[in-house]
A = this chain, B = another copy of it.
Amino acid sequence: MVKEKLDNQTEKAILEAAGKLFTRKGFAAARMEDIAKEAGINRALLHYYFRSKEKMFDLIFDQRVNEFFSGLGEIMFSEKGLEEKIRAIVEHEITTLSAHPDLPIFVLQELNQNPQRFLDHAGKAGAHPSTLLKKFSAQVKDEIKKGKIRNVDPSQLLMSIMSMAIYPFIAKPILKTIFETDEQGFNLIMKKRKKEVPDFILSALKV
Which residues of A does B touch, CB under 8 Å? 24-29, 102, 105, 108-109, 111-113, 115, 118-119, 122, 129-130, 132-133, 150, 152-153, 155-157, 159-160, 162-164, 166-168, 170-180, 189, 192-193, 196-197, 200-201, 203-206
Chain B residues lying within 8 Å of A189, measured Cβ to Cβ, are 155-156
Rounded to whole Å, the gap between the CB of A25 and the closest CB of chain B is: 7
> Copies per complex?
2
User: Which of B102, B105, B192 contacts A156, CB < 8 Å?
Assistant: B192
Known contacts A171-B162, A203-B206; is A180 also within 8 Å of B26 by CB?
no
Rounded to whole Å, the gap between the CB of A170 and the closest CB of chain B is: 5
Chain B residues lying within 8 Å of A196, measured Cβ to Cβ, are 152-153, 156
In the A-B complex, list the 9 residue pairs whose CB atoms are closest, starting with the nearest: A204-B204, A163-B167, A28-B29, A115-B173, A28-B28, A167-B167, A163-B163, A203-B204, A111-B173
Bound Cα distance A157, B196 (Å): 9
Bound Cα distance A200, B172 (Å): 24
Nearest B residue (CB) for A24 = B113
